[in-house]
Amino acid sequence: MAKVRIPTPLQKLAENQAELEVSGTSVKEVLANLEAKYPGFQERLYDDKGQLRRFINFYVNEEDIRFADGEATILKEDDELSIVPAIAGG
């Protein structure tokens, strides 16, 4: 069970909740379970090649998963997965 923090524009997909408890032991599993419960996240978080979108930061606690094991990053009981748009541009 991980705590998932949802960014404001996506909260409407999850009955306006900012924080959810979702089961799973890796980022990939948690996101799949999130999609199963609240459809619509998958297409907003993954691109058409099935990769996590480059403009989103996924933090497990305080660490960005780009610099850990990406989708395979392990989530322990009570870990927090935060989905936050990256700050970037051209």
Partner 1 sequence: MKLQISSYVLDMMIYHAEKDYPEETCGVVIGPKGKSKAIGVFPIKNIQNDLHQKDPKQYSRDAKTAYFMDPTQLRIVEKEAAKKNFEIKIIYHSHPDHGVYFSEEDKAMACPWGEPNDPNLAWLVIGVAQAKANGASLFYWDEEKKDFLEKNLKQNFRSERI
* Interface contacts to Zn ion, rule CB under 5 A: 89-90
In whole angstroms, give the CA distance from residue 78 to residue 67: 21
- Given partner 1, Zn ion, none, residue 21, with its beta carbon under 5 to 8 Å by kind, binds none
By CB under 8 A, name the one of 15, 16, 67, 77 that touches partner 1: 67
Burial class (CB in 10 A: 0-12, 13-18, 19+), 62: exposed
Q: Which residues bind partner 1 (CB under 8 A)?
A: 7-10, 44, 51, 53-57, 59, 62-64, 66-67, 84-90
